[in-house]
């Protein structure tokens, strides 16, 4: 299992956070080439959500990273566990989406159904929570060079 951190997770590109109960849109850039290759279980640590903030909404926009005629790339998005090796399975769980397949052809993924409800149920906690992307299926024909994605989070302080 490979793991990498975005510039936001490394603190190179800080997030603009809302004050008090205000809302803020936070854009987290992903350079797909940072993955090197993508295998099932690979984890991208995208950003840390500070204590006292909650995720209210999200959007995931990406280039096409799987050029095969029958693309297979898929990811899950949500809070990572303490070791940042998988999505959190504890009581402070937010799995925004499983089976994020927009990287197969490019495009965007937005909350729908149960995932939309989950986006509003993260609640504020006293702990920092890490947002991550976990590969659930590798691309059939990976094309990562020069490809980017953006996760847009709406946060409330």
> C-alpha dihedral over 1, 89, 110, 43, to 10 degrees?
-10
Which stretches of the chain are assigned E, i.e. beta strand? 3-5, 23-31, 43-49, 54-62, 74-79, 95-100, 107-109, 129-137, 148-156
Q: State the sign of the Cα–Cα–Cα–Cα dihedral 147, 87, 50, 100.
A: positive
How much is the pLDDT for 99?
Answer: 64
pLDDT of residue 139: 93
Of 52, 9, 77, 80, the closest CA to residue 156 belongs to: 52
Q: In angstroms, rounded to a whole number, what is the distance separating the alpha carbons of residues 82 and 57? A: 23
- Give the pLDDT score at 46: 92
Question: What tokens appear for 57 in the block?
Answer: 């909404």
Domain 3-156 fold: Jelly Rolls (2.60.120)
The residue with greater pLDDT, 20 or 135, is 135
**Residue 76, pLDDT score:** 83
Whole-number average pLDDT of the chain: 79
């Amino acid at each position: 299992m490979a793991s990498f951190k975005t510039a936001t997770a490394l603190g190179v590109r800080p997030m603009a956070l809302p004050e008090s109960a205000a809302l803020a849109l936070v854009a987290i850039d992903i350079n797909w080439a940072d993955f090197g290759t993508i295998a099932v279980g690979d984890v991208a640590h995208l950003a840390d959500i500070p204590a006292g903030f909650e995720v209210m909404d999200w959007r995931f926009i990406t280039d096409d990273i799987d050029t095969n005629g029958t693309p297979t790339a898929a990811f899950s998005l949500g809070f990572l566990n303490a070791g940042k090796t998988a999505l959190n399975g504890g009581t402070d769980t937010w799995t925004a989406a499983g089976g994020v397949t927009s990287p197969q052809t490019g495009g965007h993924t937005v909350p729908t159904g149960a995932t939309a409800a989950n986006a509003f149920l993260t609640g504020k906690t006293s702990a920092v929570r890490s947002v991550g992307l976990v590969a659930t299926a590798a691309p059939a024909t990976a094309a990562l060079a020069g490809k980017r994605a953006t996760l847009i989070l709406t946060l409330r302080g």
